Amino acid sequence: MERLRALVNEIAYAQDHAKLSPLQSSIVPLLSFASSLYSVTLSLRRSLYHFGFFSKHRLAVPVISVGNLTWGGNGKTPMVEFIAHSLADSGISPLILTRGYAGGDEARMLQRHLLGRPVKIGVGANRAATAASFFEKYGYVDPRGCRFSQRINIEEKVGDHLKSEQIAVVILDDGMQHWSLSRDLEIVMVNGLMRWGNHQLLPLGPLREPLMALKRADVAVVHHADLISEQNLKDIESEIREIRNSLPIYFTRMAPSCFFEVENVNSEIPLTTVCNSVLLCVSAIGSADAFAQDLRKLGAHYVDRVDFSDHHLFQAKDIEMIRKKLGELEVRFNSKPIVVVTEKDYDRDSEVLKHLQPFKVLVLCSKLQIMPHRGCSEDSFKKLLKEYLE
């Protein structure tokens, strides 16, 4: 199954199908047929919502949706965390609604990072029902009735009634295709390293919807912008502008802050620890390239990698394969390599990673940062949030 996922991913991001291997070419017709069925299903579903056969649920508080048009690696969850931090720092208590896909690794990571803050996290496929249960338990208050523009700056604290346990905003994680919930702000994340792949719909390509869906967006965010050239940034911006010229476009990056040991989540190890070291990146995330590039920038002597598909659950055979790779690196460089994983991999199953002993396993901690670009900055992004909450 892992090999099949890798094949499909290679096809989805191939710019020229004439250069595919015979094995890849053999499954293209099947993927193309499945993609056509997906397109028909997508159009039918969209029509049912458009003509009112399926209803949209309106929550009692503003809803901020963070989603994407392609699979994995777009920075949705880091953006959700960034928004939750910003709102909580302003005294606004948000509720994050997430599906808890593939064991809920992202939900667990959010819970760790937001511990001690007035942020709730609801996990479940039925987002409206999950929200209703949290509203019943904690209560809610609509911040649109607080006349923000006359009373607060997004950096300042608000009234005591918003500092309480009452939920004032819902953040919809991976919400762009969740049409059953109405939203007040639609943020679309774009993976700058991968863009739109071959521009085909799933499973032949990486697109969940056609690019014209960008017309529904209120904000576009190009993620991993620090890892691509200025020309590529301009090309992505131009593609977005062709679909919706007035769309605000922000650029973000993941900024590494420290490591912690897989045996001790409370440890804090400086980034300089891996300077001149031999590293093996092990990840099951949507953008393994970005992870490896970040580690190379930290000054490692050599960086090798073992990539799995997004949300992959490590098995015993995977651990054995990784141990074999580590042994080869140790012989080659006459030095014990260090394993580095992402927080998402750690939160998926921290115990299985301990089986890599006696090799050291470090977890890289990173935070999303908004990069200043043509007047778009962290301050302007927070101002935009405030305007939509009005």
List average pLDDT for each run of 10 residues in the chain, which is 390 residues long. Answer: 86 86 93 97 95 94 97 93 96 94 84 95 95 96 60 43 77 96 97 94 96 97 96 96 96 98 97 97 94 96 96 94 98 97 95 94 98 92 91
Q: What is the pLDDT of residue 128?
A: 95
Contact 254, 224 (CB under 8 A): yes
Q: What is the pLDDT of residue 150?
A: 34
Q: What is the pLDDT of residue 164?
A: 63
Q: What is the pLDDT of residue 373?
A: 87
Domains of the chain and CATH, by start: 63-253+370-389 (3.40.50.300), 255-368 (3.40.50)
pTM of this prediction exceeds 0.85: yes
171 alpha-carbon distance from chain centroid: 13
Q: What is the pLDDT of residue 72?
A: 82
Judge residue 350's burial from the number of C-beta atoms within 10 Å of its C-beta, 0-12 exposed, 13-18 middle, 19 or more buried: middle
Q: What is the pLDDT of residue 155?
A: 42
Q: How far apart are CA 359 and CA 320, in angstroms?
A: 13
Residue 164 tokens read as 């309480």
Q: What is the pLDDT of residue 100?
A: 82
